[in-house]
Structure 1
Amino acid sequence: MLSKFQNHISKNLSFLKGKKLLLAVSGGVDSMVLVHLLHQLQFDISVAHCNFNLRGDESNGDEGFVKSFCKKSGIGFFVINFETKEYADLHKLSIQVSARQLRYNWFNELLEKEGFDFLLTAHHLDDSIETFLINFTRGTGLDGLTGIPQQNDKIVRPLLIFTREEIENYAKENQIGWREDSSNASDKYLRNKLRHKVIPVLKELNPGFSGSFLQTLENLQQSESMVDDASRIVYRKVVEDIDNQKKINLSELMVLPNYQAYLYQWLKPFGFTAWNDIYDLVEAQSGKQVFSEHYRLLKDRNTLILTEKKEIDKEVYAVYEEAENSKIPLKISVCDKGDITFGNKDCIFADKDTLKFPLEFRKWEEGDYFYPYGITGKKKLSKYFKDEKFSLIEKENTWLLCSENQVVWVVGKRADRRFSVNEKTQTIIKIELK
Structure 2
Amino acid sequence: MLSKFQKQLSENLPFLKEKKLLLAISGGIDSVVLAYLLKQLNYNISLAHCNFKLRGNESDGDEQFVSHFASKNDLELFVTSFDTESFAKDNKLSIQVAARQLRYIWFHQLLQENNLDYILTAHHLDDNLETFLINFTRGTGLEGLTGIPVQNDKIVRPLLNFSREEIEEFASENKIEWREDSSNASDKYLRNKLRHDIVPILKSLNPSFLNSFQDTLKHLEQAKSLADDASVLVYKQVVTEKEGQKLFRLFDLKRLPNYEAYLFEWLQPFGFTAWKDISNLTEAQSGKFILSEKYRLSKDRDFLILEEIPKEDCTVYEIEADAEISIPIKLKTETVSEAGKSTNPTEIYVDKETLKFPLHIRKWREGDYFCPAGIDGKKKVSKYFKDEKMSLSDKENTWLLLSEDQIVWVIGKRQDKRFKIKNTTNQLLKIALL
Tell me the TM-score normalized by structure 2: 0.91
Aligned to 2:399: 399
**Deviation, structure 1 residue 325:** 6.5
For residues 114-145 of structure 1, the C-alpha deviation after alignment (integer angstroms, 9 at most, x for no partner) is 11111111101111100000000000000100
**Deviation, structure 1 residue 339:** 12
Asked if the contact 2:323–2:333 (Cα under 8 Å) also holds between the matched residues in 1, the reply is no
Deviates more, 1:295-304 or 1:177-186: 295-304
Superposed counterparts of 1:383-422, under 5 Å: 383-416=383-416
Asked if the contact 1:238–1:252 (Cα under 8 Å) also holds between the matched residues in 2, the reply is yes
Task: Report the secondary structure of 2:18's partner residue.
Answer: coil
**Deviation, structure 1 residue 344:** 5.6
Aligned to 2:48: 48
User: In the alignment, does 2:420 pair up with 1:431?
Assistant: no
Backbone CA RMSD of aligned residues? 2.7
**Deviation, structure 1 residue 247:** 2.0
Asked if the contact 1:351–1:429 (Cα under 8 Å) also holds between the matched residues in 2, the reply is no
Q: Which amino acid aligns with 1:313?
A: D
Task: Report the secondary structure of 2:136's partner residue.
Answer: helix
Q: Which amino acid aligns with 1:165?
A: E
Task: Report the secondary structure of 2:307's partner residue.
Answer: strand
CA–CA distance in structure 2, aligned partners of residues 212 and 103 of structure 1 = 33
Aligned to 1:272: 272
Q: Which runs of 5+ in 2 are unaligned?
A: none
**Deviation, structure 1 residue 417:** 6.1
Asked if the contact 1:348–1:432 (Cα under 8 Å) also holds between the matched residues in 2, the reply is no
Deviates more, 1:422-431 or 1:98-107: 422-431
| Cα pair distance change 1:153/1:412, threshold 3 Å | farther
Tell me the TM-score normalized by structure 1: 0.91
**Deviation, structure 1 residue 428:** 5.0
Q: Which amino acid aligns with 1:389?
A: K
For residues 405-427 of structure 1, the C-alpha deviation after alignment (integer angstroms, 9 at most, x for no partner) is 34332223344566568997766
Q: Which runs of 5+ in 1 are unaligned?
A: none
Aligned to 2:331: 331
CA–CA distance in structure 2, aligned partners of residues 123 and 32 of structure 1 = 12
User: In the alignment, does 2:86 pair up with 1:86?
Assistant: yes
CA–CA distance in structure 1, aligned partners of residues 202 and 308 of structure 2 = 44
Aligned to 1:66: 66
Q: Which amino acid aligns with 2:114?
A: E
Q: Which amino acid aligns with 2:21?
A: L
CA–CA distance in structure 1, aligned partners of residues 202 and 143 of structure 2 = 22
Task: Report the secondary structure of 1:74's partner residue.
Answer: coil
Aligned to 2:370: 369
For residues 344-377 of structure 1, the C-alpha deviation after alignment (integer angstroms, 9 at most, x for no partner) is 65555656555432111122343512434xx465
Aligned to 1:11: 11
Asked if the contact 2:297–2:306 (Cα under 8 Å) also holds between the matched residues in 1, the reply is yes
CA–CA distance in structure 2, aligned partners of residues 181 and 124 of structure 1 = 17
**Identity of matched residues, %:** 58
Aligned to 2:148: 148
| Cα pair distance change 1:387/1:86, threshold 3 Å | closer
| Cα pair distance change 1:233/1:338, threshold 3 Å | farther
Superposed counterparts of 1:197-346, under 5 Å: 197-310=197-310, 312-321=312-321, 327-332=327-332, 334=334, 345-346=345-346
Task: Report the secondary structure of 2:158's partner residue.
Answer: coil
**Deviation, structure 1 residue 395:** 2.3
For residues 222-262 of structure 1, the C-alpha deviation after alignment (integer angstroms, 9 at most, x for no partner) is 11121112112111221222333322111111111211101
